[in-house]
Structure 1
Amino acid sequence: MGTLNRRILTTLLLLLAIDVAVVATVASLLTPWLTPLRDAVDAVLPGGPGPAWWLAVVAPALAAFVWAQLRYTRAQTLAAADAREVNRAEYPDLFERVQRLCQQADMSMPTVAVADSDVPNSFAVGTVGSATVVVSEGLLAALSGDELDAVLAHELMHVKNRDAAVMTLASFLPALTNGEYGPIDDALPGSRGSRLVFGALAFVGAYLLSARFVEAPFGSLAFTLSVAFLFGLTVVLGGVLLGVFTAPVVVLGRSLSREREFAADRSAAKLTGNPSALVAALETLDGDATPTPETDKRRAYDGVRGLCFLPYGFEDDPATDEFRVETRSHPPTEARIERLGDVLREL
């Protein structure tokens, strides 16, 4: 577990470093239009030009960016899985099991959600201060007793190890690049042309602020063409750099993914004291799973499937006609069962 904890911490620090690079890059791209704000900050706060700007604007922007990633990714993941938070009155047996396992693990009880899907699966998604364990209706129907406890313990270990929160953070940029996430569309619900509206408003704002640094007369054709060129160049560079920053996030997510599954299996087996129950659950669920089509590996995973107990997600017939960046790599079920055999021998 010590190795996993170090890897989780290292991954988190590297993800935060990438977020710093993203925020700094955005601030640099927007520098021509943010000059008035930057001059005002430098004039008010001590430290001279530069340091005051980073302290007063960029640092809070980084904190807001990380917070928004976690909250947005959690909400989008739950929505993609068609999962809703449930209470004890609706699922008394499920709550009793989760509460008992949390007491055994000496951890706070996370939020519990149930996905409206007949496909048996589960996952854990986390934010800075909370986490949610999701199980499908199919899982509750397929498993009971010790096997269900074993799967729930596996998800709870993701929460306790904090890797659920780290993987939630690692989901944002790849999903944004894939087109799975559309923050602008979500911010302007009901508007089919929300991106166009947002882009038009952004261009108008840039047009007005460009009067400070574009030398052509305001409103002239030369002025308009200059602003349009700068605005377009900024958008294109932003898109290219988004892909550049996504690449190391994908590598980090994949490097942690396999190890976190093995570690959660091991911890769950030790928590329940019954590795055989988790082996039985893996065999049952993997045997009933809808096989993932043997297609281009770039299409093998999406945000939900990568977080799940088994990587087939919640869909009976997973779509494969869209480009996907493979952000996670589940270990084969056979390898997980073999590792659990080692735990059984230890116990």
Structure 2
Amino acid sequence: MHWSRDRWLVATTVVSGGAVLVGYVGFTALLLNLLGSLGAFVALLFGCLLFVFLVAGPPLTLRGVGANVVTAREEPVLVGLVSRLAQQGDVPTPAVAVVDSSEANAFTVGWRGDATVCVTTGLLDVLSRDELTAVLAHEVAHVANYDSSVMTVASLPTLVGLSTAEASVDVASKSLQAVFLGLFFGVLSAVLVVLTAPVVVLLSRAREYAADRGAVALTGDAGALASALQTLTVDDSSPPASDARDLGVVSAFCVVSPTSAPLPWLHPSTDRRIARLRELERTVETT
């Protein structure tokens, strides 16, 4: 296979991006209609939150999961693999970070020119060299497809809606007067989630399938990625150690859904991904 931008992912990104834009505009219009000037303030606050999230989100995310950026001297094999794969994918070489967690997983944050590929110590412990290369190729494919930044923009309304709904329930439980306020924002949050969650699911699943195909294009080894996904699925079937870092904040970006994922249905079925890779492996072998 030869590396190229995934056309299906590009089409999905355009559709989902347009849907999210319409959702932003519609939600702003709803706030203006219901709350007037207060609604304008809330919409502006949400816009500022999005801007801050895009600019400061990656470093804050890395800090939140305890990711430590490593050098070629500290992790020569890991950094060397990422560098070689980035050259093959014709993307700027991402930084490499390690998260001290027994939960085996990997994820990528940041923009194409300033991305960081993160792996957990648990992942380094359970994968073979070929499997590790395949997982890193999957993460580099995310960088090449620009989908990490797009996913950030698309998923923020859903995350804000879920957080607001949870806060609304807490507010409503404080006093009788707060019930109406909590109910009002709870309904608004539910509308926001209902409008945006399907788009986020569509984009999330499309980007994982695209990164799987991209990894095979970079390594030529569909079997290694299928084996890695199988290993990570088996590893995640057991409860993580009590000192494991909580990867819930980056669950949408992980190669497999972590045990702490608040929205585990964002990822496509691992069994289905493995089946697709095995089929791709047979196709490559017969050509």
Deviation readout 1:279-325 (Å, 9 max, x if unpaired)? 22122222222358xxxxxxxx9542232111125xxxx49xxxx5x
Point out where structure 2 has 5 or more consecutive residues left out of the alignment.
1-5, 172-176, 240-246
Does 2:233 align with 1:286?
yes
The structure-2 alpha-carbon separation of the partners of 1:335 and 1:236, relative to structure 1 and needing over 3 Å to count, comes to closer
* 1:146 matched residue in structure 2: 130
Question: 1:250 touches 1:327 (CA, 8 Å); kept in 2?
Answer: no
Which amino acid is 1:67 matched to? F
> CA separation in 2, counterparts of 1:274 and 1:176?
39
* 1:43 matched residue in structure 2: none
The structure-2 alpha-carbon separation of the partners of 1:29 and 1:74, relative to structure 1 and needing over 3 Å to count, comes to farther
SS at match of 1:179: helix
Aligned pairs for 1:1-347 within 5 A: 1-26=6-31, 31-32=36-37, 64-71=48-55, 73-75=57-59, 77-127=61-111, 130-179=114-163, 237-291=184-238, 302-313=248-259, 318=260, 324=262, 326=263, 328-347=265-284
> CA separation in 1, counterparts of 2:164 and 2:47?
23
> Per-residue deviation at 1:103?
0.3
The structure-2 alpha-carbon separation of the partners of 1:126 and 1:181, relative to structure 1 and needing over 3 Å to count, comes to farther
> Per-residue deviation at 1:155?
1.0
What root-mean-square deviation, in Å, do the aligned CA atoms of Structure 1 and Structure 2 show?
Answer: 3.6
Superposition TM-score, scaled by structure 1 size: 0.64
> CA separation in 1, counterparts of 2:275 and 2:116?
29
> Per-residue deviation at 1:67?
2.2
* 1:213 matched residue in structure 2: none
The structure-2 alpha-carbon separation of the partners of 1:241 and 1:338, relative to structure 1 and needing over 3 Å to count, comes to same
Question: 1:171 touches 1:303 (CA, 8 Å); kept in 2?
Answer: no
> Per-residue deviation at 1:96?
1.1
> CA separation in 1, counterparts of 2:264 and 2:133?
28
Identity, % of aligned positions? 35
> Per-residue deviation at 1:328?
4.1
> Per-residue deviation at 1:267?
1.3
Question: 2:111 touches 2:146 (CA, 8 Å); kept in 1?
Answer: no
Point out where structure 1 has 5 or more consecutive residues left out of the alignment.
38-57, 183-194, 196-228, 293-300
> Per-residue deviation at 1:128?
7.9
The structure-2 alpha-carbon separation of the partners of 1:239 and 1:283, relative to structure 1 and needing over 3 Å to count, comes to closer
> Per-residue deviation at 1:91?
2.3
> CA separation in 2, counterparts of 1:109 and 1:167?
20
> Per-residue deviation at 1:20?
2.9
SS at match of 1:120: coil
Deviation readout 1:186-207 (Å, 9 max, x if unpaired)? xxxxxxxxx9xxxxxxxxxxxx
> Per-residue deviation at 1:19?
2.5
Which amino acid is 1:307 matched to? F
> CA separation in 2, counterparts of 1:105 and 1:289?
29
> Per-residue deviation at 1:236?
6.0
The structure whose Rg is larger is 1
Question: 2:158 touches 2:192 (CA, 8 Å); kept in 1?
Answer: no
Question: 1:291 touches 1:312 (CA, 8 Å); kept in 2?
Answer: no
SS at match of 1:117: coil
SS at match of 1:278: helix
> CA separation in 2, counterparts of 1:97 and 1:181?
42
The total of aligned residue pairs comes to 263
The structure-2 alpha-carbon separation of the partners of 1:181 and 1:268, relative to structure 1 and needing over 3 Å to count, comes to farther
